[in-house]
Amino acid sequence: MTWLLEHSIFRRGLTATVWMLMLQTILFTGCYVLAWRHLRAHDPRRVENLRSVSYYARPKLLFVGQEMKRDELAAYLESLSRAASLRTP
């Protein structure tokens, strides 16, 4: 094994690998600490507006074999079109 350490290419590769692992560890730890500090400052469990819940209505469903007049179908499709246009920015 000592003869491997005598070769400069192997030694340089080993040194580069050690440095890359150290850098990766330092970067990971730094990002982890930053995320931890952010969560401590902005605790998602302490949101002020927990009591106001928004309810969204679901459009009427059509079933196979369901009888519907032509005017009702046209009104239903237009309501879906209006609802879709309101959702798009």
Domain locations along the chain: 2-43+62-87
Dump pLDDT digits (tens) for 74-87: 888 888 777 666 65
Q: Quick one: pLDDT at residue 25?
A: 98
Contact call for residues 58 and 83 (beta carbons, < 8 A): no
Dump pLDDT digits (tens) for 1-59: 566 667 788 888 889 999 999 999 999 999 999 999 999 988 877 766 656 656 666 66
Q: Quick one: pLDDT at residue 35?
A: 95
User: What's the rounded Cα separation, in Å, for the pair 79 and 59?
Assistant: 8
Contact call for residues 60 and 76 (beta carbons, < 8 A): yes
Q: Quick one: pLDDT at residue 59?
A: 66
Asked whether the predicted pLDDT for residue 88 surpasses 60, the reply is no
